[in-house]
Structure 1
Amino acid sequence: MRSVPEAVPETVRETVPEGFEEAYRLQRARFPAGEPAWQPVHTVYVPADRFTARTVADWGEQALSLLKAHLASPEEMAEVFGVPGGLAALVHDKVLLKLATEPVEDLRVDFEDGYGLRPGPVEDGHVDQAVAAVAAMSDAGTLPRRWGPRVKSFADGDPGRSVRTLERFVMGVAERAGGLPDGFTVTFPKILMESYLGQFARVLSGLEAELGVRLRFEMQVEAPQTLAFLRGDLNESLGGRLAAAHFGVFDYTAAIGLPPQEQRLDHPACDHARHVMQTALSGTGVELSDGSLAAAPASDRTLDVHVLWRRHAELVRHSLRHGYYQGWDMHPSHLVSRFATVYAFHLARYDSYRERVRAWEERRAAEGGVMDEPATIRTLAAALRRADMALP
C-alpha cells in the first residue's frame, strides 16, 4: 500500500519557483490581456498619384450612388447578400448611414504595387501632393480614423527610396498640419528577411526622436518566407512598434506557384497562411487583416454589379468566419458589400450571444439548454464588444 505523504510545510507551499517573476513579467508584456480594441473593418488602398483631399468623399459618393441604383430596397439587400429578412431593413439603413458619414475607416496612400516605379523626382512630387491632401483633410475633419502610406519594400533592393518617401511624407504632414494627426500608421510590404523588420523599426525610431511621437507600423505577409519568422515575441523584439500583420493574397499565391485562376482569398493555401499568422501572433496585441478582391463590376448593369457584390460578400464572410475582422477594399463598390456583410454578420447572432452572457452571469442555462464554458463566455463577450464597435 502506498504511504500517505505528510502534509507539505507552509513554507514550501509559499515558495516562488526561481525565475517565475521574470517569466511572468515577460508573459504579461508579450501577451497582454484585455478586451478587443476598436479595429477598422477595412483598409482602403489608393495609388498615391490618384489621391486627393476629395478621395474619401468621392468613394463615399460613388458607393452611395451604386447602392441607390442597384440595391434600392431591403428586399434586394436580403436577396443579394443573403441577409435574413428580419435584418435586411436594419442592415440597409446602417449601410446608407455609414456611406454618408464615414465611408472609409482606414486609408492607405499607396507608393508600392498600386503605384509602381517612377523616377525619384516624380515620386517626390506625389509625396508632396499626398502631404497637401492629408493636411487639408485634417483641417476639414475628414481624415479617416486610421491613415498613412504604404512605402516600397526593402526587398526591391532600394531601401533609400522607401525611407525617403516615408520621411518626406511624415515630416511634411507634421509641418503642414502642426503635428502628426491621430491614427497614423505605415504599411511595410514584402518582408522576405526578418532583419528588414528591425531596420525599418530603427527608421521609425529616428523619426520619433524628431517628432516626439510614437510611431508604429503594419507588416505585410506576402511570401511563405515571412511565415517562418512570425512568433509571439516578434513585436517585443521590435520595441512594440508592430501594430498589425496584413495578408497579401496575390503575392502569396504567386510565390507558392498557384495558377492564376486559383489566386483567391478563400483558397486553402491562404487559409493555412492566415492560421499561421493567428497562431504566431495571438494574444500579442498585433492586429490581423485579410487581403482583397482585385475586381470591380464588369459594367454599370445591375446584373454585373450584383455578381461583384455577391463574390466580395462571400470572401468577406469567409474572413469573418476565420476570425479576420478586417480586409482590404480596392474599389468604391466594395464598400457596399463590405459594410453590408460585416453588419449582417454581427447582427445575426447579437441577441443570442447577449442572452447567453446574461444566462452565465445569472448562473442559469441559456435558451435551448446551452451551458457555456468560461472560455466561450469570454469569446461571446468579445464578439458583442466587437459588434458594438463595428456597427454605426
Structure 2
Amino acid sequence: MGQQEKVSTSLAGAVSEGISASLAAVDAELDRRYPGDPGTRQPVHTVYVPGNVFDAGTIRSWGDQALAALDEHAPDADSFAEVLGLSHDLAEDVYGRVRAKLEREPIEDLRVDFEDGYAGKDGAAEDADAARTARLISEAYAGGTSQAGGSGGGTAAPYMGIRMKCMEAAVRDRGIRTTDVFLTGLLEHGGLPDGLVLTLPKVTYPEQVSAFVRLLEAFEKAHGLDEGRLGFEIQIETSQSILAADGTAAVARMIGAAEGRATGLHYGTFDYSACLGVSAAYQASDHPAADHAKAVMQVAAAGTGVRVSDGSTNVLPVGSTEHVHEAWRLHYGLTRRALARAYYQGWDMHPAHIPTRYAAVFAFYREGFEAAAKRLSAYANHAGGDVMDEPATAKALSSYLLRGIDCGALDTAEVDALTGLSRADLDRFAAPRRGDLTATAQ
C-alpha cells in the first residue's frame, strides 16, 4: 500500500463561501427558469377537431376511419412496407402495433378548436358549443383513458382541451368568454381533469401571454382552485413571436411571461409561413423558414420544462390509393424528420394521417431501441463499450426509451430485459436534478 498523498490548499474557506454567496441569486434563477423536463408523458400528436363538429363519438370515429384507410389502401404489413419503404421485419412489427394502437388509443391529444377551424354561426352558438364540449370531455374522462401498454380503452384521450380565440382586440372578448364557459362547464360536470390542455393561438407579444395568465388567475381565484392549476400551450404563428421589433427572441420572453404556466410551444405551419410571405405551394414544416422558427423555439424552451411541437401537413390522404400512398409517404417522411430533430409531437388534421403518424413514431423507436438500451445498460453498470457516454447522454437515452414505452412503440418487459433497469430507474436517469447531473459529470 503506497504512501498517502499530501493534499495542500492555498485559499481559505471564506473564498468559497464568498463566491457561493455572490452566486446565490444566479442559483435561484437557474432553478426557477430551468427546472428541466417535467417527466410526464408527452403525446406524439395533437388532433384538431372543430368545436361545431366534436361529439361523443369523435375519438372512436377517428380510430375507425384510420383503420378503414389501412384496410383499403394497405391491408397488410407487406403493402404498408412497400408504401413507406420499410424492411419486412420492421413492417411486420410496426403494422401490428399501429393497428392495435388505433383500436386501443387512436388519439393521444385532442384539441377542440374554437379558432380558425371553428364554424359557429354566432356568439350564442359558440357558447352552446363550448358548454357542450365541456360536458362531453367530462363524460369522456368519467369513462376513463386507455394506457399505451394496456388492452381495451377508455372513452377519453390522455390529453384533451380547447384552442380558444387569441388575445388580439377583434376577438379577445370572445376568446375570454369561450374559455370561461368551457372551464366553468368542466367544474359543473365533475371538475378539471388531469389531462386538461388549453392552447392560446396567434401570440405576438409577451403581454398577450401575461393577459392570459391574468385570466386564468382570476378563474382560479373565483373557484378557490390552487394557484397555477391551469396551464396552457403557446402557439407560435407569427414572425414577431420569433423575432421581436427590438431584435430579441420574443418566444423566450413569452415563456417567462407565462409565469410557470406554459406547458408547450406549438408551431403553426401555415399561419407562420403566410406571415413571412411563403407561397401556398411551399408552406410546409420542412421549409427553411419553418426550420428556423422551430430551432429558435427549441433553444428558448430548452431546460424550462416547456415542450416543443411541430405543426401539420395539409396534404390529406384521401381519394385514390395512389394519392393516399403519396400523402402517406409525405407525412411519414415529415414525421421521421421531425423526430430526428427532437420535435416529438406534431399536429394531425385527418383520421387517415394517424396510421403514418404512429408508423413513423413506432419505427423511430423500434429501429434505435436495442442500441439505446445497450448503451444505457453499459453506462448504468460502468461496463464501458465502444461509446463513452456522459450523464447528459444517459439522460437522453433514458428519455428515448421512456417516450417509446409511453406511446406503445416499446414494451416495458423488453426494455427491462435489455437494460436491466426498471421504470423508476429510467425515470431517475431521464430527469436528474441539475446538481445531481453536474456533480456526476465532475
TM-score range, shorter chain: over 0.9
The alignment's TM-score, normalised by the length of structure 1, stands at 0.92
Kept after mapping to 2: 8 A contact 1:230/1:281:
no
Structure-2 change in CA distance of 1:192 and 1:33 (3 Å): closer
Q: Does 1:278 align with 2:295?
A: no
Q: Alpha carbon RMSD of aligned pairs, Å?
A: 2.0
Q: Does 1:216 align with 2:235?
A: no
Kept after mapping to 1: 8 A contact 2:317/2:353:
no
Q: Which runs of 5+ in 1 are unaligned?
A: none
Post-superposition offset of 1:6: 8.4
- Counterpart of 1:33 in structure 2 is 36
The match for 1:65 among 50, 64, 68 is 68
Distance 2:108 2:307 in 1: 15
Which string of whole-angstrom CA distances, capped at 9 and with x for unpartnered residues, describes residues 317-358 of structure 1? 111111100000110001101011100001101101111122
Q: Does 1:226 align with 2:245?
A: no
Post-superposition offset of 1:232: 5.0
Kept after mapping to 2: 8 A contact 1:30/1:232:
no
The match for 1:362 among 374, 381, 403 is 381
Kept after mapping to 2: 8 A contact 1:74/1:88:
yes
Q: Does 1:289 align with 2:309?
A: yes
Distance 1:139 1:344 in 2: 33
Structure-2 change in CA distance of 1:190 and 1:237 (3 Å): closer
The match for 2:186 among 145, 148, 173 is 173
Which string of whole-angstrom CA distances, capped at 9 and with x for unpartnered residues, describes residues 175-202 of structure 1? 0x22122211111101122211100111
Distance 1:314 1:156 in 2: 39
- Counterpart of 1:337 in structure 2 is 356
- Greater relative contact order structure (CA < 8 Å, 6+ sep): 1
The SS at the match of 2:324 is helix
Post-superposition offset of 1:48: 0.6
Distance 1:55 1:274 in 2: 30
Q: Does 1:160 align with 2:173?
A: yes
Correspondence 1:294-309 to 2 at 5 A: 294-299=314-319, 301-309=320-328
Q: Does 1:107 align with 2:110?
A: yes
Structure-2 change in CA distance of 1:106 and 1:371 (3 Å): same
Which string of whole-angstrom CA distances, capped at 9 and with x for unpartnered residues, describes residues 50-74 of structure 1? 1101111100111111112222222
- Counterpart of 1:378 in structure 2 is 395
Distance 1:156 1:308 in 2: 38
Correspondence 1:172-191 to 2 at 5 A: 172-175=185-188, 177-191=189-203
Structure-2 change in CA distance of 1:42 and 1:178 (3 Å): same
Q: Does 1:139 align with 2:142?
A: yes
- Counterpart of 2:425 in structure 1 is none
- Counterpart of 1:245 in structure 2 is 265
Kept after mapping to 2: 8 A contact 1:134/1:143:
yes
Distance 2:100 2:9 in 1: 70
Distance 1:220 1:263 in 2: 17
- Counterpart of 1:127 in structure 2 is 130
User: Number of aligned pairs?
Assistant: 384
Percent identity over the alignment is 38
The SS at the match of 1:50 is coil
- Counterpart of 1:95 in structure 2 is 98
Distance 1:123 1:33 in 2: 38
Q: Which moved more, 1:233-242 or 1:257-266?
A: 233-242
The SS at the match of 1:154 is coil
Distance 2:138 2:14 in 1: 64
Q: Does 1:389 align with 2:409?
A: no
Q: What amino acid sits opposite 2:51 in the alignment?
A: A
Q: What amino acid sits opposite 1:106 in the alignment?
A: D
Post-superposition offset of 1:205: 0.8
- Counterpart of 1:260 in structure 2 is 280
Distance 1:245 1:263 in 2: 19
Q: What amino acid sits opposite 2:10 in the alignment?
A: A
The SS at the match of 1:245 is strand
Structure-2 change in CA distance of 1:372 and 1:181 (3 Å): closer
The alignment's TM-score, normalised by the length of structure 2, stands at 0.82
Distance 2:288 2:68 in 1: 35
